[in-house]
């Protein structure tokens, strides 16, 4: 088992070496990059948006119910909601959601291409199949995922505002003051960096599992499940490490 | 010309190919025949470089496959057309995009030139008016034809076909066989066809190599196969009623 683990790590880095070879034609790469941006990022906007609005609202209610002390200014509720969204929800939680959506999409797409010999056909033409299929996915996911994080932040705060406005759980002016208070730009950078790293892991690990799928449709299913489980664990582990390195 | 010398291949210690030596000549339909599980596909995958042999040599012209650099292999692959058993057409591309795919990577032709060449190849295989269809909208026979059109798109020197008739009705099978044979002669390609279909063997087998349990037991052509003394090959051939009747003089 330990041997298999180290063997897989070695194969993963060899796979990345193939992926990051110079593309045969940049024109084809950019066209694929646009396609993958649409498939992986644009198509995730609705899911991320809906979840963020609801989580923003829930965070306001939960924080307000835990801060009923009259000494503490109500604006801190807005402040804490914003910090929770920036530091953890908009990067880590969104990445875990994307691990399911994006990871299964990539692993099953590449896996079914593997078992139907489409990848062999590309290799036989002399096309670097890993570079053609995977590089645009990794670059689109890594470069554009911070946009999803920023969108999630905006919609999360908006969701909180809707709850405040309609339930008057705290004065709306205090909520607005809170979400503007003690702003630290580095936290935005930290969160963008985290989601980029997580999306790199999601796309590359899912592609690796799909690329090495074996055994028909069952194999595709297995590779899809393996990529979601592996990336979910790795996201949580690397969240801890990155947080320790960047915030402490 | 492709030359195979003393090729051995095993999986997990179990031998699959034993001392295979054969030559494939240009302008001929060279066939690898044998029962299912005899090692035909493994031999084909070794020939095209998708598997590496344990020992032995595969030479394309004067070049040994095992001594080629990554770049040399890449260049060689641009001279190779492969028709896979399941056609392996790209799901994400239409019929014409599938045929244009290798041209996009390896030529500097304009979009118009690529389209013209793709249309020419599709006409060669009698697929007309299906340019914008996706592979899942085509029948099995049509998919094979598009697969052949894509394989010949860059005028390859070598054409490999893995069981081109599997899953096809006898009439379509013969059409595909004749198409492969005609294209081989027209473009003077070195064609290697992997099959266990007796009709194909008798129809287009210019040079035939019979494999049983990973060993090459017989080599000849479609005119001599029915007179063979090789017991394993006779059993294989006689599974076909027509061939059995010919052999037994009925």
Q: B90, A120: Cβ pair inside 8 Å?
A: no
Query: Which residue in A21, A114, A117 has the most chain B C-beta atoms within 10 A of its own C-beta, making it the best mutation to test that interface?
Result: A117
Counting as low any pLDDT under 50, the low residues of chain B are none
The answer for B 136-175 residues in CB contact with A (under 8 A) is: none
Label residue A83 exposed, middle or buried (CB < 10 Å: 0-12, 13-18, 19+): middle
Q: What is the dihedral of CA B162, B163, B166, B168, to 10 degrees?
A: 90
Residue A73 pLDDT level (bands cut at 50, 70, 90): confident
Give me the CATH number covering residue B210: 3.40.50.300
Closest CA to B226 of B211, B238, B214, B241: B238
Note the pLDDT of residue B62: 85
pLDDT of A23 strictly over 80:
yes
Per-residue pLDDT reduced to its tens digit, A90-128: 999 999 999 999 999 999 999 999 999 999 999 888 889
pLDDT of A3 strictly over 90:
no
Quick check: is B55 in a domain?
no
- Residue ranges of domains in chain A: 28-247
Note the pLDDT of residue B177: 87
* Nearest by CB: B74 against A113, A118, A126: A126
- Pick left, alpha or beta for residue B101 (phi over 0 → left; psi -120 to 50 → alpha; otherwise beta): alpha
Angle at B117 between CA B112 and CA B123, to 5 degrees: 125
Q: What is the mean pLDDT of residues A46-68?
A: 93
> Is the CA virtual torsion A22, A26, A28, A34 positive or negative?
positive
* Nearest by CB: A116 against B49, B86, B102: B86
Quick check: is B58 in a domain?
no
Q: Report how far apart, in Å, the C-alpha atoms of B151 and of each of A64, A138, B16 are.
A: 66, 30, 28
The answer for A 115-134 residues in CB contact with B (under 8 A) is: 116-118, 120-121, 123-127
Closest CA to B74 of A12, A97, A128, A69: A128
Query: Domain containing B108: what range?
Result: 22-50+68-247
Per-residue pLDDT reduced to its tens digit, A132-156: 999 999 999 999 999 999 999 999 9
Per-residue pLDDT reduced to its tens digit, A164-178: 999 988 999 999 999
Quick check: is B116 in a domain?
yes
Q: How far apart are CA B188 and CA B204, in angstroms?
A: 15
Note the pLDDT of residue B249: 65
Query: Which residue in A31, A35, A126, A216 has the most chain B C-beta atoms within 10 A of its own C-beta, making it the best mutation to test that interface?
Result: A126
DSSP strand pairing (B14-24 vs B2-11): antiparallel
Phi/psi for A54 (5° steps) reads -70, -40
Instruction: Write down the number of H helices and E strands in chain A.
Output: 10, 0
Query: Element (H or E) spanning B5, and its range?
Result: strand B2-11
Q: How far apart are CA B102 and CA A126, in angstroms?
A: 9
Note the pLDDT of residue A125: 84
Quick check: is B7 in a domain?
no
Q: What is the mean pLDDT of residues A215-230?
A: 92
Quick check: is B161 in a domain?
yes
Quick check: is B6 in a domain?
no
Q: A117, B74: Cβ pair inside 8 Å?
A: no
**Average pLDDT of every residue of chain A:** 93
* Nearest by CB: B82 against A112, A116, A121: A121
Note the pLDDT of residue B180: 87
Q: How far apart are CA B229 and CA B225, in angstroms?
A: 9
- Look up residue B179 and give its two tokens: 């198409």
Note the pLDDT of residue B248: 65
Q: What is the mean pLDDT of residues A231-240?
A: 95
In this predicted model, which residue has the larger pLDDT, B98 or A74?
B98
Q: How far apart are CA B66 and CA B68, in angstroms?
A: 6
Percent of chain A residues past pLDDT 70, beyond the cut: 100
Count the domains in chain B: 1
Q: How far apart are CA A212 and CA B68, in angstroms?
A: 25
A14 touches B: beta carbon within 8 Å: no
Q: How far apart are CA A206 and CA A232, in angstroms?
A: 11
Q: Which residues contact B234 (CB under 8 A, 6 or more apart)?
A: B228, B247
Question: Which chain B residues have a beta carbon less than 8 Å from that of A28?
Answer: 104-105
Query: Tokens 């644009």, residue?
Result: A42
């Amino acid at each position: 088992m330990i041997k298999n683990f180290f063997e897989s790590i070695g194969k993963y880095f060899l796979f990345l070496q193939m992926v990051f070879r110079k593309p045969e034609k940049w024109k084809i790469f950019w066209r694929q990059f646009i396609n993958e941006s649409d498939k992986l990022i644009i198509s995730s906007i609705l899911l991320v948006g809906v979840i963020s609005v609801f989580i923003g609202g829930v965070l306001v209610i939960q924080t307000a119910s835990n801060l009923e002390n009259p000494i503490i200014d109500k604006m801190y509720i807005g402040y804490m909601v914003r910090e929770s969204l920036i530091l953890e929800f908009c990067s880590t939680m969104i990445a875990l959601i994307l691990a399911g959506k994006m990871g299964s999409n990539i692993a099953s797409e590449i896996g079914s291409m593997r078992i139907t010999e489409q990848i062999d056909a590309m290799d036989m033409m002399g096309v670097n199949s890993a570079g053609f299929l995977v590089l645009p996915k990794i670059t689109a996911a890594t470069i554009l995922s911070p946009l999803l994080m920023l969108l999630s932040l905006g919609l999360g705060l908006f969701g909180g505002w809707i709850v405040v406005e309609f339930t008057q759980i705290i004065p709306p002016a205090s909520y607005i003051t809170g979400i503007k208070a003690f702003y630290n730009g580095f936290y935005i950078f930290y969160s963008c960096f985290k989601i980029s790293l997580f999306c790199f892991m999601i796309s590359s690990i899912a592609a690796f599992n799909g690329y090495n799928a074996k055994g028909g449709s069952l194999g595709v299913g297995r590779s899809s499940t393996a990529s979601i489980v592996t990336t979910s664990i790795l996201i949580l582990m690397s969240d801890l490490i990155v947080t320790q390195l960047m915030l402490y | 010309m492709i030359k195979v010398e003393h090729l051995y291949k095993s999986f997990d210690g179990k031998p699959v190919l034993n001392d295979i030596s054969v030559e494939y000549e240009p302008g001929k339909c060279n066939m690898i025949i044998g029962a299912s599980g005899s090692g035909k596909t493994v031999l084909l995958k070794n020939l095209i470089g998708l598997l590496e042999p344990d020992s032995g040599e595969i030479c394309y012209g004067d070049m040994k496959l095992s001594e080629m650099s990554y770049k040399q292999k890449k260049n060689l692959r641009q001279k190779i057309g492969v028709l896979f058993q399941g056609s392996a057409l790209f799901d994400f591309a239409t019929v014409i995009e599938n045929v244009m795919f290798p041209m996009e990577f390896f030529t500097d032709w304009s979009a118009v030139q690529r389209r013209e060449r793709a249309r020419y190849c599709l006409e060669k295989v009698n697929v007309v008016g299906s340019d914008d269809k996706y592979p899942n909208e085509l029948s099995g026979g049509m998919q094979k034809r598009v697969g052949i059109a894509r394989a010949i798109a860059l005028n390859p020197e070598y054409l490999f076909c893995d069981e081109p008739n599997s899953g096809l009705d006898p009439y379509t099978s013969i059409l595909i066989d004749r198409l492969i044979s005609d294209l081989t002669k027209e473009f003077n390609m070195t064609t290697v066809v992997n099959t266990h279909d007796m009709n194909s063997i008798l129809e287009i087998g210019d040079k035939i190599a019979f494999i049983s349990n990973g060993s090459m037991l017989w080599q000849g052509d479609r005119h001599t196969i029915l007179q063979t003394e090789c017991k394993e090959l006779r059993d294989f051939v006689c599974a076909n009623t027509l061939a059995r009747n010919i052999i037994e003089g009925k």
